[in-house]
Amino acid sequence: MRAPVDPPLRILAPQGRAAPVIVASPHSGRDYTAEFLRMSRLDAHALRRSEDCYVERLCEGSMGQGATMLHATFPRAYCDVNREAWELDPTMFRDPLPHWCNTTSSKVRAGFGTIARIVSRDGPIYPRPLPFSEAETRIRTCWQPYHDTLSRLVQACRDQHGCCILLDAHSMPTPQGRGEMPDFVLGNAWGTSCTAELTALVEDVLSGHGYTVARNVPFAGGYVTRHYGRPRRGVQALQLEISRGLYMDQDSLEPHAGFVSLQAVLTDLFAAIAQYGDLLARQVAAE
């Protein structure tokens, strides 16, 4: 099976002077190929419920603040790059899985491994087990290029500036009536993937705009945050979860009137992060 796009990602360069900031959107890809849809028992609209709809568009203002943007163009339901490469559910495959696969993680048990088994309320994606070769193809043509690219961008940023801030941007379902769910959740892997200073900065900017912000609950950060966040080595990673009700209709999956205002708020946030990154870079250069 071919990859949806070759390569299945986009890199958007900063406008003007580069800041030591990378903004990544791993789950907003919308390239649902005819082959993938034929394999699925769900239609494209149902599959899109797992998508972090339009997050890369919400984050477009980051480039004007000097950030580099990376986003996957393939859907999360096709291959989830915020998991380990081989985090697979053995019940999904008709072949025995190789010993190196992680088959027991909490994400696998919930149905959300590297190759997802389910899409939230719509149930299983596939009507029958897949060959293991299908997982191999997706991981080698989607997961690996995405992480090769992200690793390269992080290293280049660190080489140029002496530090790197990686903001991993996502969206989360908004419960009916919003209830107690916050507008944003900041995941710093319980204080291990970035400094308390960066987390506080992001929280202060968002709460200053009137939004409610939580830390680590219910999203503490996935594979990207935990794998790349190495503050002692000059790389800070923070996962940003945005409540979908703030900017889109969750039934039609279309942006609503709140989209533009939220985009402006996020641009303010990226400006603050870029300023913080520039300060860190100056501190590194002075050492």
CA–CA separation, 65 and 234 (whole Å): 20
Choice among 27-36, 108-117, 174-183, 276-285 with the minimum mean pLDDT? 174-183
pLDDT of residue 177: 59
Q: Tell me, what amino acid is at 158?
A: R
Which residue, among 5, 130, 132, 124, has the nearest Cα to 74 in the 3D structure? 5
pLDDT for 241 beyond 60: yes
What global pTM score does this model have?
Answer: 0.95
Mean pLDDT of the chain: 95
pLDDT for 172 beyond 60: yes
pLDDT for 2 beyond 50: no
Split at pLDDT 50, 70, 90, the class of 179 is low
Share of the chain above pLDDT 70, in %: 97
CA–CA separation, 161 and 278 (whole Å): 8
CA–CA separation, 76 and 21 (whole Å): 24
Enclosing H/E stretch for 273: helix 258-286
What integer is the mean pLDDT of 21-44?
96
pLDDT of residue 6: 65
**Any alpha helices (H) in 21-173, and if so which ranges?**
34-39, 44-47, 55-58, 61-64, 106-110, 132-138, 144-161
The answer to whether 73 touches 31, Cβ cutoff 8 Å, is yes
pLDDT of residue 5: 46
| C-alpha dihedral (43, 244, 202, 263), degrees to nearest 10 | 90
Cis peptide leading into 7, omega within 30 of 0?
yes
The answer to whether 115 touches 135, Cβ cutoff 8 Å, is yes
pLDDT of residue 175: 86
The answer to whether 262 touches 247, Cβ cutoff 8 Å, is yes
Length in residues, the chain: 287
Q: Residue 226 in 3-state DSSP?
A: helix
CA end-to-end distance (rounded Å), the chain: 51
CA–CA separation, 186 and 144 (whole Å): 26
pLDDT of residue 1: 37
pLDDT of residue 158: 98
CA–CA separation, 89 and 97 (whole Å): 9
CA–CA separation, 283 and 287 (whole Å): 6
CA–CA separation, 49 and 44 (whole Å): 9
pLDDT of residue 3: 43
Enclosing H/E stretch for 164: strand 164-172
Which residue, chain included where needed, has tokens 């300023």? Answer: 275
pLDDT of residue 176: 75
pLDDT of residue 237: 98
Tokens for 53?
């709809």
The answer to whether 64 touches 31, Cβ cutoff 8 Å, is no
